[in-house]
């Protein structure tokens, strides 16, 4: 006779590891998106050469392989790497078939070479990542989880602090903080906000928030996005919204189409007038701040610029037209620049943008002369003749991880980057499989997902931001969490 014994412990919601059959239900949507993109890139756009179309298709196929593995149930855990790979569709694939000066400056052969580089990078990263997530690891003996008293209200409180910080920053109320302390506070707020938004949005999707908590969450998220956008850096608000949408989809198993359409329209509208707003409030030689009661007037002015520019688009020469969202998010032209000039005209940098990372890891209050976190980005811009060094104090040109790796070590650098990122995202995903959503493992996975969505960073910015976020998570793990033991099943056999 066999007896079964198991101690009873309170159940905890955990990071979703969808049953294989339920993940397969996502394949229909996957194939719809896949064939839609391929048809668009091959037949619905006009390019100078089919090489550009084929290049876009190569990148799209490579970028969607991780999503296929996850949707089909072959890959386990949170889809960190699949979302990371998807960002390469709008940053590298779609710009190739977009008729913009950034792309047409380069030849179709250069388009294809850059596309092949990205495809190889993604395929290598996918292969390494899949080795970590193709099976479920053994459940650990215990997790560090947030205590009950720090549950939903705790995350709502963090989101409230983020709202107050965003409002204060836009209003100029934080000028009393020195640069080093402000950087630390900013990093802590960004990391804790991402964690809170993911957890609350996931629970909202799972109907685990009370009605009052759900309404408060939506209000705080909207206000935070509105205040953040007034810095004229839309990427912060967009990233926050993406984190919320991803978590909601995972929790509800449905895509909230209407909110996505509404927010996409709002961002698109604001994008048209962003250049005029920056010219007035960034480059006029005078510092401007916006008080909370001035929000309606400031947004009214912004929307007015957007509508005016949108109506004049057809009558403007190409050089004066506002960039589309695809043109704005493009990173592949930076890779083509590096490939065009290196190594024939400009020798490879051989790690020059990486060797500054140890100095970047030292907190500014220990080193008042610390270099800027974007120093690696500025090195690239100056080296390839895009800027003079003095210009980097007012404008930052985005490069992205792949272009930086090529500028340093060529194709070997791109291959190495794919292996490193595949290992990083794969190991974090594996560590968080089946983890309670309020555990340290799950929150780390959430943090890494927010980093996976950043396609414009160089390694220096990535590492510094990651260190700040890990510091916040470490403090939360030590002081706000307790051990949660996993009770294993015990079978006793009596012959």
List Cα–Cα distances, 245 to 111, 208, 224, in angstroms.
33, 16, 15
Residue 467 located in a structural domain: no
What's the pLDDT at 418?
97
Report yes or no on 278 lying in a domain: yes
Q: What's the confidence (pLDDT) of residue 285?
A: 67
pTM: 0.84
Q: What is the mean pLDDT of each run of 10 residues along the chain (495 residues)?
A: 41 55 68 92 87 94 95 88 94 87 90 96 98 89 75 87 92 80 80 86 87 93 92 84 85 84 89 83 76 92 87 59 66 95 94 92 76 90 91 85 96 96 96 85 87 88 88 85 70 48
Structural domain includes residue 89: no
Q: Is residue 314 part of a domain?
A: yes
HEC-encoded secondary structure of the chain = CEEEECCCCCCCCECCCCCHHHHHCCHHHHHHHHHHHHHHHHHCCCCCCHHHHHHHHHHHHHHHHHHHHHHCCCCCCCCHHHHHHHHHHHHHHHHHHCCCHHHHCCCHHHHHHHHHHHHHHHHHHHHHHHHHHCCCCCCCCEEEEECHHHCHHHHHHHHHHHHHHHHHHHHCCCCCCCHHHHHHHHHHHHHHHHHHHHHHHHHHHCCCCCHHHHHHHHHHHHHHHHHHHCCCCHHHHHHHHHHHHHHHHHHHCCCCHHHHHHHHHHHHHHHHHHHHHHHHHCCCCCCCCCCHHHHHHHHHHHHHHHHHHHHHHHHCCHHHCCCCHHHHHCCHHHHHHHHHHCCCCCCCCCCCCCCCHHHHCCCCCCCCCCCCCCHHHHHHHHHCCCCCHHHHHCCCCCCCHHHHHHHHHHHHHHHHHHHHHHHHHHHHHHHHCCCECCEHHHHHHHHHHHHHCCCCCCHHHHHHHHHHHHHHHHHHHHHCEEEEECCCCEEEECC
Which structural domain, as residue segments, surrounds residue 317? 150-325
For residue 243, being part of any structural domain is answered with yes
Backbone angles phi, psi at 14, to 5 degrees: -130, 165
> How many domains does the chain divide into?
1
Instruction: Look at residue 272 and tell me if it is in a domain.
Output: yes
Residue 491, pLDDT score: 42
In a domain, 31, yes or no: no
Whether 19 is covered by a domain: the verdict is no
């Amino acid at each position: 006779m066999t007896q079964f014994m198991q101690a009873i412990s309170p159940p905890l919601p955990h990071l979703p590891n969808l049953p294989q059959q339920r993940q397969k239900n996502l394949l229909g949507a996957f194939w719809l998106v896949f064939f839609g993109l391929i048809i668009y890139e091959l037949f619905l756009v006009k390019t100078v050469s089919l090489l550009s179309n084929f290049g876009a298709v190569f990148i799209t196929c490579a970028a969607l392989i991780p999503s296929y593995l996850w949707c089909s149930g072959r890959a386990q855990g949170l889809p960190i790497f699949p979302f990371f790979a998807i960002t390469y569709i709008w940053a590298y694939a779609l710009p190739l078939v977009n008729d913009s000066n950034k792309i047409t400056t380069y030849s179709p052969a250069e388009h294809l070479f850059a596309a092949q580089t990205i495809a190889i990078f993604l395929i290598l990263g996918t292969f390494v990542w899949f080795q970590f997530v193709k099976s479920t690891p053994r459940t650990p003996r215990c997790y560090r989880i947030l205590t009950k008293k720090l549950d939903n209200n705790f995350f709502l409180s963090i989101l409230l602090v983020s709202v107050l910080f965003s409002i204060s920053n836009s209003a100029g109320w934080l000028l009393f903080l020195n640069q080093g302390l402000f950087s630390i506070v900013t990093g802590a707020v960004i990391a804790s906000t991402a964690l809170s938004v993911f957890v609350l949005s996931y629970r909202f999707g799972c109907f685990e928030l009370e009605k009052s908590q759900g309404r408060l969450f939506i209000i705080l998220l909207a206000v935070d996005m509105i205040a953040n956008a007034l810095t004229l850096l839309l990427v912060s608000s967009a990233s926050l919204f993406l984190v919320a949408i991803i978590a909601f989809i995972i929790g509800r198993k449905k895509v909230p189409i209407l909110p996505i359409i509404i927010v996409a329209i709002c961002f698109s509208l604001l994008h048209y007038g962003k250049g005029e707003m920056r010219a007035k409030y960034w480059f006029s030689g005078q510092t401007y701040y916006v008080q909370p009661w001035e929000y309606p007037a400031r947004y009214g002015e912004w929307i007015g610029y957007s509508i005016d520019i949108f109506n004049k688009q057809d009558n403007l020469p190409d050089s004066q037209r506002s960039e589309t969202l695809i043109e704005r998010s493009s990173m592949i032209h930076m890779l083509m620049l590096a490939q065009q000039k290196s190594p024939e005209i400009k020798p490879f940098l051989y790690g020059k943008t990486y060797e500054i990372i140890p100095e970047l890891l030292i907190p500014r209050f220990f080193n008042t002369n610390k270099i800027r976190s974007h120093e690696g980005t500025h090195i690239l811009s100056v080296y390839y003749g895009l800027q003079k060094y003095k210009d980097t104090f007012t404008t930052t040109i985005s490069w992205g991880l792949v272009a930086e790796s090529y500028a340093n070590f060529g194709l070997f650098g791109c291959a190495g980057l794919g292996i490193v990122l595949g290992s990083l995202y794969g190991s974090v995903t594996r560590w968080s499989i089946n983890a309670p959503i309020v555990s340290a493992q799950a929150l780390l996975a959430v943090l890494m997902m927010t980093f996976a969505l950043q396609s414009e960073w160089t390694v220096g910015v990535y590492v510094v931001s990651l260190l700040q976020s890990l510091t916040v998570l470490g403090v939360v793990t030590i002081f706000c969490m307790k051990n949660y033991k996993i009770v294993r099943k015990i079978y006793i056999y009596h012959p």
